[in-house]
Amino acid sequence: MNPLLEIAEVSVGQHYYWELGGYELHGQVLITSWVVLAIIATLSLLGNRDLKPTPDGFQNFTELVTEFIRDLAKTQIGEEDYLKWVPFLGTIFLFIFVSNWSGALLPYRLIEIPNGELAAPTNDINTTVALALLTSISYFYAGISKKGLGYFSRYVEPAAFLLPINVLEDFTKPLSLSFRLFGNILADELVVGVLVALVPLIIPIPIMLLGVFTSAIQALVFATLAGAYIGEALADHH
């Protein structure tokens, strides 16, 4: 048995599987991901369907979010290259942010499915690994598109004997991104679930509010690190 396949089969809790072309898909993750994408699309349409030179109403909110993401990209990537990466960082940030908040605020567990239970998409390791791999592909693309094959010279800087460490660093980046996000969201939902089962409803409310706050922080941390990795790949090394 391939050890990589064994790792890929690691799962937490029960899952609702869909059969597609001989493959098993985590159905509940796709359902909640579509919910998240629908929320983002709806808010975007509401805020941008009637754009005005002087924003008001919901347009103020969407422009505030856009400016926040632009500032984040400019800080992490640099003024020269940041604009082309705003859509990527914005997509990553909004998907994780809305996913985390949907898990904290929407009563997913009240919806019955044939097996398992609904939860935030980021509560599944497959989702967080996919987001981390997208980030890795993005910073490799950023470095190679700007520097060509000369990008790989960074692995022997500042000294050739650091090659194994520099290569290992690129393997650990997606691991740390994915497990940090997955672990925090899973732990938060488990703590709230246990408290709701053991004590009256009023007691877990402060923990739920704290979970809403930490969920937003996790989205910010992921997007900030993604921007930092892309900025590092684009930076000139001497």
Residue 75 and residue 227 in contact, taking contact as beta carbons nearer than 8 Å? yes
Residue 32 domain flag: yes
pLDDT at 59 over 60: yes
- Alpha carbon distance 61, 207 (integer Å): 27
pLDDT at 8 over 80: no
What residues form DSSP beta bridges with 17? Answer: 26
Token representation of residue 115: 């097996």
Residue 150 domain flag: yes
pLDDT digits (tens, 9 = 90+) for 196-216: 777 766 666 777 777 788 888
Query: Looking at residue 134, what is its pLDDT?
Result: 93
Residue 7 domain flag: no
What is the number of structural domains in the chain? 1
Residue 10 domain flag: no
Residue 133 domain flag: yes
- pLDDT (mean) for 70-76: 94
Residue 119 domain flag: yes
pLDDT at 121 over 60: yes
| pLDDT band with cut points at 50, 70 and 90 for residue 87 | very high
Residue 102 domain flag: yes
Range of the domain at 115: 20-236
pLDDT digits (tens, 9 = 90+) for 179-201: 888 888 888 777 777 777 777 66
pLDDT at 237 over 70: no
Residue 24 and residue 18 in contact, taking contact as beta carbons nearer than 8 Å? yes
pTM: 0.84
Beta strands 17-20; 23-26: pairing state: antiparallel
pLDDT at 6 over 60: no
Residue 5 domain flag: no
User: What is the average pLDDT score of the chain?
Assistant: 82
